[in-house]
Chains A and B, each alone.
Chain A
Amino acid sequence: MSSPLVAGAIASVVLLLAPAATPSIGARAATPAGGASSDADEAALAELDRAVEAARTLRYRGSLTVASFGQGGPQVTSVEVARSADGRLRAERRGAWELGRDADGSYLRTSRTGALLRLGGVSVRPFERDRFLRNYRIESGGTSQLDTGPANVLLATRRDGDVRSETLHVDRETGLIVRRETRDVDGRPVRVVAYTELEVDPATGLLTPPDADGEVERLSLTPVERRSLADRGVPAARELPGGFELLDASEVETAEVPTVHLVYGDGLYTLSLYVQRGRLATHATAEATRLDVPNGGAVWRWPGSEPRRVVWTGDGRTFTALTDAPTGALLTAVAALPSDPAPSTFRRLARGLSRVGDRILPPW
């Protein structure tokens, strides 16, 4: 890693983290919004709708920086993003690096992240406004002055708590969200995503803007489909804690072991759950970090920061969860699923001795 790159990384982290650590998320100055909360909510909703429409219709190009905060220190990625006339969002990664105590071993985990590299040409689920508003309260948070110009701040807070999950900065001129700050349920920063440069030509709309109504996919399973999954032993809960609703289920045909892919969403975050028959191999978690979940079980956090990824075993099945939700929200959601305690070496030896004894000593 060259010294200019290190300097750039430090500068980016300081630039991104400093606003995230303050209550009013303005990068340079934030003005608290006044007025009654109901009026503020209406104004925030209107601004949110404007941001959705701008993201759906505008063409833009810019430089995007992502700072993700994990166990090994902040991981910073720089990407060139372009929204083309056909509506595709293309991203080209310029560089990625990590800071913190695990910085020396960062390259493997950085390459594993790869999320932004997969954005080009990938379809994005439509914004589900009703589901979002069922789980989150949106309100105005004043204004901020960013590198891309003045922005209106929107604060998204979970309805089942007082912790602010997201702070969105909406570019005042174009309506695009130019900065997004995510916090975990304990208030710790999860990631900051921000444009450092942005070019928008409002006069040039998309040539074929997608029809929001016509593009909406089927977003729930029928009772028959859920029953079919249950008959096969797949715990397809209709809802998971935290407002995650079951949106879709499908088979993963390329997997060696039969695998069912369940998709949950709460209107803001998406959670993929892969369910396989069989228990998680002990040696598979050599590089993972054990986390305890509220139901007494154990899950394993896989290396890599974005998206969050955990694996665990429960009721003879192996689960893999991938999500852009903060780790705390992820653990709350998976606590409703079966999970076994961490495997015991003593129990394994005892089981093995019993089996060896059965082989050596024939039954009387």
Chain B
Amino acid sequence: MASGRSGGHVDGQRLSAFLDDELPESRAIELTRHVASCATCRGELEALRTTRSALRDLSSVHAPVLTAEVRSLARVRSWSRRVVAISALGTAALALGAAAYVAGAEDGEVVPPVERFLLDHLARVGEGPVPAPLGGPSR
């Protein structure tokens, strides 16, 4: 095996290509013979396989859950922005309505002092539900 070896051993790139079944058949047979007789390269190959297997397990278990959480968070942020925007618009509308109601008051509005008028009326007219309403002046 002329290429892909360093110090008589197979390098990691060729071992990785072997695991991925990317080597030509003749090279793959040659590497298989070498690994069968070389404890160092066999150990390197096993380590590489174990690492790959562990990485495959990690991606297959955790990646989907993480994606759902991120998507959920994104939806919440989107709704929050909408709620804030709607609330701000509503508050502004209410403030504008209140301002318009106050500003829309008629100029020179008065609250008639009816109780005072009542006393004035009774004092001046002397009116009341008396049974002798036709009486003369009582001074």
* B1 → A minimal CB distance (Å): 85
Pairwise interchain contact A255-B116, C-beta atoms closer than 8 A: yes
- How far is A125 from B124 in the complex, measured between Cα atoms in Å? 9
Given contacts A277-B108, A318-B112, contact A194 B136 (CB under 8 A): no
Pairwise interchain contact A278-B126, C-beta atoms closer than 8 A: no
Q: What total of chain A residues lie within 8 Å of the partner, measured CB to CB?
A: 87
Residue from the list B108, B113, B127, B134 in contact with A270, Cβ < 8 A: B127
Residue from the list A55, A56, A176, A281 in contact with B111, Cβ < 8 A: A281
| Residue with the highest number of chain A CB atoms closer than 10 Å, among B111, B121, B129, B130 | B129
B-binding residues in A (CB < 8 A): 48, 51-56, 64, 66, 68, 81, 83, 87-89, 91, 112, 114-116, 118-119, 122-127, 132, 168, 176-180, 182, 191, 193-195, 210, 212, 215, 250, 252, 254-257, 261, 263, 268, 270, 272, 274, 276-284, 302, 304, 306-307, 309, 311, 316, 318, 320, 322-324, 343, 345, 347-353, 355-356
Pairwise interchain contact A48-B110, C-beta atoms closer than 8 A: no
* B127 → A minimal CB distance (Å): 5
- How far is A182 from B131 in the complex, measured between Cα atoms in Å? 11
- How far is A89 from B132 in the complex, measured between Cα atoms in Å? 11
Given contacts A118-B119, A276-B110, A348-B104, contact A127 B139 (CB under 8 A): no
A-binding residues in B (CB < 8 A): 96-97, 99-139
Pairwise interchain contact A356-B131, C-beta atoms closer than 8 A: no
- How far is A279 from B134 in the complex, measured between Cα atoms in Å? 37
Pairwise interchain contact B111-A126, C-beta atoms closer than 8 A: no
- How far is A55 from B127 in the complex, measured between Cα atoms in Å? 15
Q: Given contacts A127-B134, A351-B103, could you give 20 more A-B pairs where the C-beta distance is less than 8 Å?
A: A52-B134, A55-B135, A68-B129, A88-B139, A112-B118, A115-B127, A119-B126, A123-B137, A176-B132, A180-B133, A195-B131, A210-B136, A261-B120, A261-B124, A279-B110, A281-B109, A282-B105, A302-B114, A348-B101, A353-B100
> Could you say which residues of chain A place their CB within 8 Å of the CB of B135?
52, 55-56, 89, 124, 127
Residue from the list A88, A280, A345, A352 in contact with B112, Cβ < 8 A: A280
Q: Which residue of A lies closest to B108 (CB)?
A: A278
* A311 → B minimal CB distance (Å): 5
* A215 → B minimal CB distance (Å): 4
Pairwise interchain contact B138-A263, C-beta atoms closer than 8 A: no
Pairwise interchain contact A276-B118, C-beta atoms closer than 8 A: no
